[in-house]
Chains A and B, each alone.
Chain A
Amino acid sequence: MCPRNTVAARGNLVNMWNYLQGRGEFLGFLTYQHASLAFQTVLVGTIVAVLIAIAVHRLPLFSALTLTTSRVALTIPSLALLALLIVPFGLGVVPSFIMLAFFAAMPVIGNAIVGLRSVPDSVIESARGIGLPRRRILFSVSLPMAWPVILTGIRVSTQMVVGVAAIVAYVLGPGLGSLIFNGLSRLGGTNSVEMALTGTVLIVVIALVFDGLLVLLGRLTIAKGLS
């Protein structure tokens, strides 16, 4: 409405365009790095989480303990954990990776335990009763039946990790976080706002793309009889 604002907005857009101009390759690389970090940490976190869930799901007490622990662990500030990890591992990729994998595992542990425990006893009993070996029951009955719930956990964890991954820039970790922190620390300087904004938008884009891919994965892998 106010012409001056419109001009300013247009000015911002022009500035943004100027910033993006020629930095395509650099931004593409950071985005790739960020996405790759999130993907790998969620993958490792999920595998560890599912293994833990498999180990404890048949023991009610351990299940409850693990479930509570995983929820409490999520309240640890990521920055604090990162700072602690610098002591043994120094700066860079290693502490970043461990911190993110840790946070990625937490929502999946809970869902995997709940999912595995919600497989009806009657189904397990009939599986044992007809002579399916224990390992086979786990892989061809329990896990497929728990998979929709586990996948929901993976979606939650992916969203979280893609966001939290920005923080690893503090310990010189990889990804789009560097854009945001550089931008914010030089606030008022040339391109500072544009940098932070670009980083944030790209992170949101990564999160949306991953979520879409996970929904697709669900469509392809969740057994029809379970929906």
Chain B
Amino acid sequence: MTDEKTGSAADTVAGERTVTGASIRLDGVVKQYRGQTKPAVQKLDLDIEAGHIVAFVGPSGCGKTTTLKMINRLIEPTEGRIFIGDRDVTGEDPDKLRQSIGYVIQSGGLFPHWSVAKNIGAIPRVLGWNAQRIAERTEYLLDLVGLDAATFEDRLPKDMSGGQQQRVGVARALAADPPVLLMDEPFGAVDPITRGRLQDKLIAIQHELGKTIVIVTHDFEEATKLGDKVLILSEGGHIEQYATPEEILAKPATPFVEEFVGSGATLAHLTLSRVKDVEHDPVVTARIGEPSDEVIGRARAQGVTWIVVVDGDGRAQAWPSLDEVATKDRVSDYVDPRLPVVAPSSTLNDALDSMLAASQGGVLVTDSRGAVTGALTIATVMAVIRGQLSDARAGDGHVTYTAHTEGTTP
């Protein structure tokens, strides 16, 4: 079911983004479980703009997952109505509805007995697409999520890493080109570095496709990184604040929010600053097999002490120092598996994570296709922290002890 005509698709334009998503509206939605005195979700009204990413965040038991699952009616609301675009979905056939909404859960929820291609084709097969169309769609989606179709098509879930499974989970959710994508703690089971990459990929996919994405997470950092808007819920599905991440950090609406986001901490602001917002240092790149002398000459002319070895597509392979380069006649084809790399959409927090994980004082910045565009050093990140710290001091002179120590301890 290609649902491109659904609702307000394509007529709401958020900035310069393409929008193929549909808006979502919750109207007085209540979920009361039998035998419980307090409702799990109490009278929730919410508008989600088409083509936006909204992150639901809150402590466990706050009803964020329940709310998400009511949108595709995995959980039936007790009261209230839910609109996707302008259709009221509360009365629709649940299977039909879910076929028009992408759904991704932790670790992808792939069917272990099916190959990647078969997993992705699950819904297109139900919808009766022909084999040719399914194959083309599968190839397109694998490419979209950054997996090589030829390599992964016939792979079984058990033969893939958690991050790869998660990518396939996203591809499967997008199979029938739904206007809305729901994600339930999708990146909870992968390591921080992989999580950062998956988040960047999701942002890139969102920019390319303009779907409406609702993501549930317990991690406020993840919420600020991904969400155009963040919905903070407290127990019983009570809305504490629904605003942009900047607004929440700058003006927490309630003490609950203040405590939840830890708005006093300087480093929290690192999740708001993106790699693309700060200056990068230029890098000298060299192709595998180039004569070492030439490369060293070029690097010296630029005044740098190390270079980045790239493949034919400009993707980084290693970053040897000039001394290392000098040990061989030609630039070697060594691939450094621990090379720290971030995307422009990564937060400075991610960049710092990558540096610490690799024990390096910098990271390489790549564009969406993985080509190296520059480097970000720890000095730049420290400068941002110092800037924010002095802003905070100048702003209200109120710097908490924790913020101070976190920000200035070398």
> Which residues of B line the A interface, CB within 8 A?
72, 74, 95-115, 122-123, 126, 156-158, 169, 172-173, 175, 182
Contacts and interface: CB of A to CB of B under 8 A. Distances in A.
Given A122-B105, A122-B107, A123-B109, A129 B114 contact: no
A126 B103 contact: yes
A196 B59 CA distance: 73
B111 A130 contact: no
Contact of A131 (B99, B104, B157): B99
Contact of B172 (A122, A130, A141): A130
18 contacts: A123-B110, A125-B109, A126-B103, A128-B98, A129-B103, A129-B109, A130-B98, A130-B175, A131-B98, A132-B123, A134-B95, A141-B111, A145-B112, A223-B113, A223-B114, A224-B113, A225-B112, A225-B115
A27 B157 CA distance: 51
Interface string A209-227: 0000000000000011110
B109 A225 contact: no
Contact of B105 (A126, A132, A144, A226): A126
B105 A125 contact: yes
A145 B109 CA distance: 14
Contact of B72 (A129, A132, A224): A129
Given A122-B105, A130-B103, A226-B112, 18 more contacts: A122-B106, A123-B109, A123-B110, A126-B104, A126-B108, A126-B109, A128-B98, A129-B103, A130-B99, A131-B98, A131-B100, A144-B113, A145-B112, A145-B113, A225-B114, A225-B115, A225-B156, A225-B158
Contacts of A145: 111-113
A128 B109 CA distance: 11
Interface of A is mostly: helix
Given A125-B105, A126-B105, A225-B158, A132 B113 contact: no
Contacts of A133: 95, 126
Interface centre among B103, B109, B156 (most CB of A within 10 A): B109
B122 A130 contact: yes
Chain A interface residue bracket vs B: 20 to 34
B173 A130 contact: yes
A16 to B, nearest CB: 49
A127 interface: yes
Contacts of B106: 122
Nearest to A222: B113
Nearest to B103: A129
B64 to A, nearest CB: 16
Interface in A173-227: 223-226
Interface string A112-129: 000000000011011111
Contacts of B72: 129
Nearest to B113: A223
Interface in A128-154: 128-134, 136, 141, 144-145
A22 to B, nearest CB: 52
B113 A131 contact: no
Nearest to B123: A130
B103 A225 contact: no
Nearest to A127: B111
Contact of B157 (A128, A130, A225): A225
